[in-house]
Amino acid sequence: MEKATYRTQQELKAELRTASILKGSRVVFNIAGNKYRIILAIDYQRQLAKVRFVGTHAQYDQVDAETV
């Protein structure tokens, strides 16, 4: 992600097909065969991403991915 440039959610999804695009500029990535999940809040205009959540799939089910 450090060297990637995505101007839109659609560009990100086109390259990273397993990413889940959510409201609020949130993106969910499955890690280690879906054992873990990470939620990023991405500011596409400024090319910044902030980690909002990292945890197991079970922990992910306990949070609101669109507002965390």
Per-domain boundaries in the chain: 9-60
The pTM score is 0.89
Contacts of 3-6 with C-beta under 8 Å, sequence gap 24+, read 5/47, 6/42, 6/44
- pLDDT tens by residue, 13-44: 999 999 999 998 999 999 998 899 999 999 99
Asked if residue 54 has pLDDT above 80, the reply is yes
Asked if residue 1 has pLDDT above 90, the reply is no
- C-alpha angle 11-12-16 in degrees, rounded to nearest 5: 125
Mean pLDDT calculated for residue range 50-54: 97
**Tokens describing residue 41:** 């809040």
